[in-house]
Amino acid sequence: MKQTYFKNHLPLIIFISVLLYINSLSNTFVYDDVYIITENYLIKSLENLPKLFQKDYLLLSGELSYRPIVTLSYFIDYAIWQLNPVGYHLTNVILHTVTVFLFYCLIKSICKRHRVSIFATLLFLSHPILTETVNAVCYREDILASLFFLLAFICFVKIRFPISEKGTSLKQTNTRFIPYYILSCASYCLALFSKEMAITLPILLVLFDLLYPLGNKSKTSTISSKLIGTGRWVPFYGGYIAVTGFYLFIRFIVFKNTFKTISVSPSNATTMTKVVASYIKLLFLPLNLNADYIVPYTNIYGLSFILSALFVVSACVLIALLSRRDKLLTFFNLWFFITLLPVFGIIPIGNIMAERYLYLPIMGFCGTTGCILANYPSLRKYMAIVLGGILLSMQISVIYRNGVWQDDATLWRYTYQREPKSARACSNLGNVYFKNQRYEEAIQMYKKSLTFQYSYPFIHYNLGAIYEKIGLIDKAIEEYKASISSHHDNTLAFNNLGTLYDRQGLYDMAIEAYKQALTNNPYFPLTHNNLGNTYERIGNSEKAEMEYTEALKINKDYADAHNNLGAVYLKKGMMDNAIDELKKAAQLKPDHLDAHYNLGIAYTAKGFYEETIHEFNLAIHYNPKDFAAYRELGMLYLKHKKDNQKSLYYFNESLKLTHDPDEAKKVKEMIDAIKAGGVF
């Protein structure tokens, strides 16, 4: 009968979970997805998979800590979907639904009460606090960590309660113990390498051992004592301890991140008390949800701290009172606080408060709520309609919040309205204005963001980029320099400084800026390509070739680097090599003007005149003002096709388009010579 009950409700739970997030599939990439997905060259080639286990992972992945499982999921997504955001959001929805299913299984295996399992799961999947994690592809780490966390816990429960209702022999139990134990430890390892929050699992396992009653002592206690009794407590937990030690070694020694994390606001006991109070409030009243929270610093005598402390203490007292008769309630309540420990500021984090941090802890809140309703049937009876209304309103809020995350414009407009003193919201809204060529409004938002206490240097970079766009070069250089921190950690700023110096003919300064950018991040193909261009301008073709080659090692689909490398080969007279590289550039970017023009030059040198005509015509097709292509066609028809009429036509078109007096003079001389019959 229990199995039938499970089967009847599980499809409904899965259906609701998918249905609530179905409208998120139309969303674009938002927030940090640009760094993790769209501009991440690492995930765009399966040949880069070994780099998941190399020290350069942190430079290449866009992650601030070692999370290879998450990056591996992006590899898989890109192999299937390329840069179609639908696929990435679909993966998030599927992973979230699997997590919902595992949460249901965990509650069911622990408490054996189906009403608790169903309501706790419905509350979990309906809570709008989860929308940030599901909608932002770059926050998939929280889903994956929670998924493997739950799987590890479920396997632990299978070991903890090895006796079925009918009973099993010790031999059968040992046979079952080994695979479940290995799977539990392996899942814990995968959870850790998805996100650091999973490190709280062993604490919860020990807590569960201490709090949860064993049931039938005559049978269960005997078997459990043989498997995980007092004398074998350390060996039993040895697997989890070993996995934790291995992870800490990898995380803080082998793959230690030397990059500076952006600090939004200072973290101390008073501030974190306010954060905890805010989290608890959001569990019960998920209103005014936001992508960026500002928690002002306050001292211990501040009113906001006193009120927050009283609220947290009151919540803890209430929890203690409710938990007196039910150890399971104690377990779920402590689940919430224990799983929040990694984001309590013990280790510096980028955001002092974020909704995604609650993805795993909220399971404790949902389990607690389910237990309370199960323990007080009279409450459930009279509040059935109210509870149904609460769940429905939450589900409507989920669907609405999915719309907020539709794109950067909707997300940051909403965030700015909710938190107008957020430097991140102002800066990202400025980016939206920048993309829509609303430059004055963008500058205003960037400048406003810089006035806030918790601003950050990269905003200067955004301001520099817009000054460069509108031609205020001196101001752009000033802002780029301002965006470079004391650690010289802004690769993009150094790169853009290099391009500006190059345009001004300050080639030595340009080279120095590019080298500084590559010192920070040697795996940035744009900088390698730009440095190659500067070397080419000063006549150092050997170094230019080396830089273009380095760019292509990082991103083999970089059309500009293929074209530039082809141009170097063209100068050296290596026509076959040049044609090979230029064809790759044209295939990757069909409207690449220089690639078609250079191909035309290479084909001319090889005597492939029909191919030459085709490439020059393509260059003109994509850029009707390309006077050089017209000129080359004129020369081709004059010297090789012996067609003076067509030659005159192309020379005249070139003469109309050129703005270079010397070029115009040469073309005019050719026209005059053809008309005089002196050139054939």
> 3-state SS string over 559-625?
HHHHHHHHHHHHHHCCHHHHHHHHHHHHHHCCCCHHHHHHHHHHHHHHCCHHHHHHHHHHHHHHCCC
> Where are the domain boundaries for CATH 1.25.40.10 in the chain?
420-626
Amino acid identity, residue 27? N
pLDDT value of position 264: 46
pLDDT: is 290 or 326 the higher one? 290
Q: Decide if 361 contacts 334 (C-beta within 8 A).
A: no
Question: Of 7-11, 130-134, 191-195, 455-459, which range is least confident?
Answer: 7-11
Alpha carbons 190 and 69: distance in angstroms, whole number: 7
pLDDT: is 35 or 586 the higher one? 586
Alpha carbons 241 and 243: distance in angstroms, whole number: 5
Count the Cβ atoms, other than its own, within 10 Å of residue 663.
Answer: 16
Question: Of 39-53, 79-93, 173-187, 527-541, which range is least confident?
Answer: 173-187
Q: What is the mean pLDDT of the chain?
A: 86
Mean pLDDT of 398-413: 96
Which residue in the block uniquely carries the two structure tokens 């002196």?
Answer: 678
Q: Decide if 484 contacts 493 (C-beta within 8 A).
A: yes
Amino acid identity, residue 157? V
pLDDT value of position 223: 40
Tell me: pLDDT of 172 over 60: no
Angle at Cα 33 formed by Cα 350 and Cα 54, nearest 5°?
75
Alpha carbons 574 and 577: distance in angstroms, whole number: 6
Q: Give the pLDDT band of residue 221 (cuts 50, 70, 90).
A: very low
Maximum mean pLDDT: which of 105-109, 294-298, 311-315: 105-109
Burial of residue 193, with CB atoms counted within 10 A of its CB: 0-12 exposed, 13-18 middle, 19 or more buried: buried
**Model pLDDT for residues 602-654, shown as the tens digit of each residue:** 999 998 989 999 999 999 999 998 889 989 888 888 887 778 888 889 888 88
pLDDT value of position 321: 76
Nearest to 602 by CA among 589, 585, 590: 585
Mean pLDDT of 335-359: 86
Amino acid identity, residue 353? M
Tell me: pLDDT of 255 over 90: no
Give the CB-side neighbour count of residue 392, counting CA atoms within 13 A. 6
Q: Give the pLDDT band of residue 343 (cuts 50, 70, 90).
A: confident
Nearest to 619 by CA among 610, 603, 630: 630
Q: What is the pTM of this model?
A: 0.88
Q: Give the pLDDT band of residue 91 (cuts 50, 70, 90).
A: very high
Alpha carbons 455 and 539: distance in angstroms, whole number: 43
Tell me: pLDDT of 296 over 90: no
Tokens of 335: 């689940």
Mean pLDDT of 545-567: 94
Q: Give the pLDDT band of residue 329 (cuts 50, 70, 90).
A: confident
Tell me: pLDDT of 441 over 60: yes
Tell me: pLDDT of 229 over 50: no
Give backbone dihedrals phi and psi of 313, rounded to 5 degrees, phi first: -65, -45
Tell me: pLDDT of 233 over 60: no
pLDDT value of position 226: 47
Give the CB-side neighbour count of residue 572, counting CA atoms within 13 A. 18
Q: Give the pLDDT band of residue 126 (cuts 50, 70, 90).
A: very high
Tell me: pLDDT of 443 over 90: yes
**Model pLDDT for residues 494-517, shown as the tens digit of each residue:** 999 999 999 999 999 999 999 999
Q: Does domain 420-626 fall into CATH 1.10.490.10?
A: no
Q: Give the pLDDT band of residue 413 (cuts 50, 70, 90).
A: very high
Q: Give the pLDDT band of residue 160 (cuts 50, 70, 90).
A: confident
Share of the chain above pLDDT 90, in %: 55
Share of the chain above pLDDT 70, in %: 88
Q: Give the pLDDT band of residue 671 (cuts 50, 70, 90).
A: confident
Q: Give the pLDDT band of residue 169 (cuts 50, 70, 90).
A: very low
Mean pLDDT of 17-35: 93
Nearest 10 degrees: Cα torsion 272, 274, 277, 282: -100
Alpha carbons 174 and 438: distance in angstroms, whole number: 68
Tell me: pLDDT of 258 over 90: no
pLDDT value of position 461: 94
Mean pLDDT of 77-93: 96
Helix axis angle for 114-126 and 85-111, nearest 10°, is 150
Tell me: pLDDT of 589 over 50: yes
Residues with Cβ within 8 Å of 602's Cβ and at least 6 positions away in sequence, in order, are 566, 570, 575, 578, 579, 582
Nearest to 421 by CA among 402, 394, 391, 448: 448
- Sign of the four-CA dihedral 313, 315, 319, 321: positive
Alpha carbons 466 and 677: distance in angstroms, whole number: 54
Q: Give the pLDDT band of residue 379 (cuts 50, 70, 90).
A: low
pLDDT value of position 162: 54
Maximum mean pLDDT: which of 153-162, 380-389, 557-566: 557-566
